[in-house]
Structure 1
Amino acid sequence: MASSTNGHPSHNGSGRNGNGHRPGRLRDYSAWQLFRKGLSASPEWPRTWHDHDLRNSYDVVIVGGGVHGLATAYYLATNHGITNVAVLEKSYIGSGGSGRNTAIIRSNYLTPEGVRFYDRSVKLYEHLAADLNFNVMFSQRGHMTLAHNDSSLRTMHWRAEVNKVQGVDSSVIGPDEIAKLVPFMDVSPEARYPILGALYHPPGGIIRHDAVVWGYARAADAHGVHIHQKTEVTGIDVEGGKVTGVRTDRGRISAPVVVNCTAGWSSLISDMAGVEMPVQTFPLQAAVTEPVKPFLDTVVVSGTLHTYVSQTDRGELVFGASVDPFASYSIRGSLEFTEGLGGHVLELMPALSKMRLLRQWAGLCDMTPDYSPIMGPTDVDGFYVDVGWGTYGFKAGPVSGEAMADCIAHGRPPEIISAFGIDRFAAGRLVGEKGAAAVGH
């Protein structure tokens, strides 16, 4: 596929990939075919996505093989017919933040811009399994953010009203309703941190993060996108203020468009193109318990206690907290985190004291000054960014991919991400989401 003269990928109305061949179709199996293959001694399952030789050139190169990079590639192909696309991942698909998060989905943010943006993502998640023909296991079980003092309760009322204006289902509920939804919660006035109310958001829930990554990778591959694992970007070439390609540990690739969809390392990738990012990287830790009989139907968040908890379909309790209080690229867990998290969880649900913690892990979060992402073009022509996602990037995967694909195809940001441009920091147009994003999983 050729590139247009303005440096943006041209549309390919034929639906063919860069080799001139029609992209492959996703293979559908009937229940009987699946059953037969499952009983076969050596079933020959088709590859979910394929290995390809690295081409000398692509129309678009996406750095980062997580949900944002794969979703961008998928929507470039499906919405705009741009299929001569490479997704480069230095490790394996989903090895970064997409595989290290707690997979909570919601749209009950604080600013109108944020609410509209994340609500679109929830809408895309609701029919993503059908779109990708892949079960992503989205469970809309509700999301509850607790208020332990008058100030927090005022913020919950504020968020609820902003949500309602944007058409998002959110409301403030009292302790009695909280007790019905979460019977194991200590809502008594004698609790160390009394619960005065909560922002309840029924559309929120949890999803299987690995399935989302695999589904997007499979669907993008079927449309002709090349996914290159174990391919590290070592440099980005810029000439005359325009991107000309990327250098990798497997060779150089010419490309008029390069998209930074990395987490944790986003500022380092942008530095390669000479674009400075107002981003700091912090570790975020999480932990999971042994599986028990399902009893927690809703996601519970406490900003005061810096913790959140949900239960998977397998019965494990997933715990998380706020980012570590220091900038670092470390993804090691710490005993200090485990002790603090355990104590805070037991403040909410004392009955969990006998449960055993099985494992803990950490991921890297790129935090911006206003807790909102940085999306769209930069001062370097052809270099786009989709970064700065802090602790809330996975829930934005579908809408980010859709919006970035539109931005690349048309050379300008669509309205839904216009407020998230990098120029907002110099202009003082911050999109302050700390009140809903600091621990608001």
Structure 2
Amino acid sequence: MSYKNEQLSEEKVFKDPVHRYVHVRDRVIWDLIGTPEFQRLRRIKQLGTTNLTFHGAEHSRFNHSLGVYEVVRRIISVFKDYPNWDNDERLLCLCAALLHDLGHGPFSHSFEKVFKLDHEQFTQKIILGDTQIHKILEKVQPGFAQDVADVIGKTYANKLVISLISSQIDADRMDYLQRDAYFTGVSYGHFDMERILRVMRPMEEQAVIKSTGMHAVEDYIMSRYQMYWQVYFHPVSRSAEVILTKILHRAKFLYEHDYAFKLKPAHFISFFNGNVTLQDYLRLDESVVHYYFQLWQDEEDAILSDLCERFMDRRLFKYIEFSPNRMMREWMELYSLFKKVGIDPDYYLVEDSSSDLPYDFYRPGEEGERVPIYLQMPNDELKELSRQSDIVEAISGKKRTDHKLYFPLDMLKEKAQNSDVKRILAILNGQGVVNHHAE
């Protein structure tokens, strides 16, 4: 039997809090899970700094990746009897699902922004580079690693395969919404996935949903909407992200200005220099980052030391609602006043915005255009979801953005007798200071 078709002598299962069990029978999948590159995902949290707001959010990209694999495995079990499904694509779909988040770095999106990296590009580099992952994929057949990378890069010829991993209703979202809801302890992310899987049908370019499953899809989309605003964009988690980002900016600034660190930041140097190799990338995980943050609390540089203490001890910034259009004059005055009182506004006065488009219909030619969800009517006609659902139509194409201004209220209170600080506090209080870290 070829390696591509080789099955384990008995099925392996992972006990999973979301899907009950993750089932593995393919030798290829089992071997991929055992690679150093995949095991590294145990050391990358799925939700970055969210555990500083929702203390249960300690789950990893490893958990999530297994979950996405399991959802795709279940979808394929439904598709296998339909003429539009080519079962030769089965292993490709399973591998792409398992490996889709392979390139995430520590604290994922915050880390990417600072160093101008792209986790999808690194996922492809790991799959195509000198790695154990690559060796296993090429053992399936020459060029198989490239096919997996193309699915993740959304350039693979069969768009149906891509849609299972990346679309407006895909295995990735179906896993992370439920998994993140479970570990954060909120109820928003729950929806009837079993129903959605039962009514998914393969078409030439994407999976569609039988019209009888419309209400389950409505529930899914509203779950996503609620999770983004109640969990993913929670202002306290964003406060931690702001501090994390500023720590990395400060460390990079100090390195570029020949600051003498007590311990040379060896793991960060290629990131500071902008010449990151694949080996450098794979060596850096959240345990390493925490190690440096722990040490940097004792650095001579007051800003780096303070920011690291804040992050490690959860002394986060406070925030106010902020409108860049209406409050630019106040922001400029605050920036000037912060400088006057000796608090560097580049690190301690930070505007942060988050935005989301919960569902969109097809807008040809627009940047980031989205393929919509289609319902298969009883006569086999396809209709775009928002044309049939009043609930989805109400939020379709509506991008919501939230702006916050973050600052260290404790630092200001220490200088409360200073007239300039009094003016700062008056401006901030005039905008309504939020006095909680939020639990």
Higher relative contact order (CA 8 A, sep 6+): 1
Query: If the length of structure 2 is used for normalisation, what is the TM-score?
Result: 0.23
More helix by percentage: 2
Greater share of strand residues, 1 or 2?
A: 1
Larger Rg: 2
